[in-house]
A and B are shown apart, each in its own frame.
Chain A
Amino acid sequence: MSFVLHMLGEALDRIASGDAELLATLGRTLWLAAASAFVAALVGIPLGARAGLRAHGPVGGFRAVAANIGLGLPPVVLGIILGLLLLPGAPLGGLRWLTTMNGIWLAQVLLAAPLVAALTAAAVAQGPANLVLQARALGASPRDRLLLLLGEIRPALLAAVLAAALLGIGEVGAVIIIGGNVAGHTNTLASTVVLDLAASDTAGATAHALLLLGLVGILTWMHGRARRAAGAAA
């Protein structure tokens, strides 16, 4: 056990000393999580709201399977598909986004948007249908009704965006395939654990893992609060 405790101690030292590389990686990870969750929300909430308003009961058949695949697609698979598309000469090759943070960001938006859309659709479908109908009976326009509905399910939307951020933050499959895990450029807290272990820097790997766990803990706590608020509203 002393080995584990020693590594934890060294890792905490590394974090407390404000290691520059550690901070830079933390910054990249936070930027990535925020930027991908934000864009996933911009794309996913309108799509989910549309689907949720149209859905009367569960979606069946092929569309449901497709939705489920989008929700749980292994990041490695998405990474390879996107990687092929980003190759020079491929349709998105002109972007030159392979081994860049922009490429990772695109991958995580594509991973998170279906989740945001699905959670939004579920919240909208379970949302206060009576209230929306009542608003219509009192003359509310479609835009009024959508705003009313999104306002009513605000906590659920926040929970969806936080779930999207949680999804991306610990992900390494797409990060490594698209970003290449180039130290100092395209590594995140999670992918640095792999880098450091390969370089036999156990304390460094532990420090990055601890920071990652801390971030996940904070986001999970916020997510739990948002979900409870959404549950209390339902």
Chain B
Amino acid sequence: MDAAALLTLTGLRVDRGGETVLDGLDLELRRGEVAVLLGPSGAGKSTLVLAAAGLIEVAGGAVEARGRVAAALQGAALARRSVRANVEAALGWWGVPRPERPGRATRALERCRAAHLADRAAGTLSGGEATRVHLARAVALDPDVLLLDEPFTALDPAVRGELLAEAGDLIRDARRATLVVLHDRTEAWAIADRLLVLLGGRIAADGAPAAILGAPPSEEVAAFLGFTGRLELAGGEILRLRPGQVTTVAPGEGDLDGTIEALIPEPDSAIARVATERGRLEVRVAVPGPSTGELVGLRLLGGARFEARA
């Protein structure tokens, strides 16, 4: 075990409802880092959190924690009491002596900018307010390992952006290992030191966000991370491309030509789905710009190469 590792999952296997959700998963969370776990719906992200927190039985493998693990599960489940009472109750569960609880609750609520909510009944909170209290309750415990399962879902975009901007400071603690499960890839870049991708019951990618995005370890990871273009190169290699790694030029002037099959509008531009003789890819185009059925030239600006599988 790494000297800094606070939580180690080894060969973890979890079955739920007769199906194997996690299958031989290895993961080490280290002191001081904020790791973000991404994965498609149903990949087993919440199952991983439940298993790591010791809340469900594992069918195989081991979960070893150095120190105590606390988790803020998906959905801000609060007791029908005041906000302050909710945070103090959690401190009580954690074993914090009674005299220390009010101070720690107040500090945690302040850090999560929820101090003004302290005397409100939990049932009267909006989704965003409840989420802040939910976070504060977990942060207040000051655990050695903190697991947060989709802490930003069910928020309206404005609140989400605001909380995300603060989340880095809020969550990061040099003494602690933190794992944040996120559904939305774009949120990960805002807070992650380390990116984990859960695919097929295992960690399929593990590393710095920029490194993974620069060189995804497998084609499946690339596809999940938004490398929507897929070209078969001469020599049997596969090139995966994000829309931002392609630009349009006049026909014949780029690396290859293609026909626009469909246009998917976005706020200030559109994503064009282009069919070429080597495969399909997506590229961002101006609006108004080329229309469906038009022939365009394509210049490729990178992408990730993979060996074609037999």
Q: Which residues of A contact B (CB under 8 A)?
A: 128, 130-131, 133-141, 144, 148, 151-152, 233
Say yes or no: B79 contacts A138, CB within 8 Å. no
A-B contact sample (16 more), CB < 8 A, given A137-B72, A138-B90, A140-B93:
A128-B77, A131-B78, A134-B73, A134-B77, A137-B73, A138-B70, A138-B71, A138-B93, A138-B94, A138-B141, A139-B90, A139-B93, A139-B95, A141-B93, A144-B92, A144-B93
Please tell me which one of the listed residues B72, B80, B94 contacts residue A134 in the complex, with CB atoms under 8 A apart: B72
- For the complex, give the distance between the alpha carbons of A152 and B79 in Å: 7
Say yes or no: A130 contacts B79, CB within 8 Å. no
Please tell me which one of the listed residues A131, A133, A148, A151 contacts residue B55 in the complex, with CB atoms under 8 A apart: A133
Q: Which residues of B contact A (CB under 8 A)?
A: 53, 55, 68, 70-73, 75, 77-80, 89-90, 92-95, 137-138, 141, 147
Say yes or no: A137 contacts B71, CB within 8 Å. yes
Chain A neighbourhood of B138, CB < 8 A: 138
Chain A neighbourhood of B77, CB < 8 A: 128, 130-131, 133-134
Chain B neighbourhood of A134, CB < 8 A: 71-73, 77
| Closest partner residue, chain A, to B140 (CB atom) | A138
Chain B neighbourhood of A144, CB < 8 A: 92-93
Q: Interface centre among A138, A144, A148, by most B CB within 10 Å?
A: A138
Chain A neighbourhood of B137, CB < 8 A: 138
| Closest partner residue, chain A, to B49 (CB atom) | A137
Expressed in whole angstroms, the minimum distance between the Cβ of B49 and any Cβ of chain A is 8
- For the complex, give the distance between the alpha carbons of A221 and B121 in Å: 26
Chain B neighbourhood of A141, CB < 8 A: 93
Say yes or no: A233 contacts B89, CB within 8 Å. no
- For the complex, give the distance between the alpha carbons of A190 and B80 in Å: 40
| Closest partner residue, chain B, to A130 (CB atom) | B77
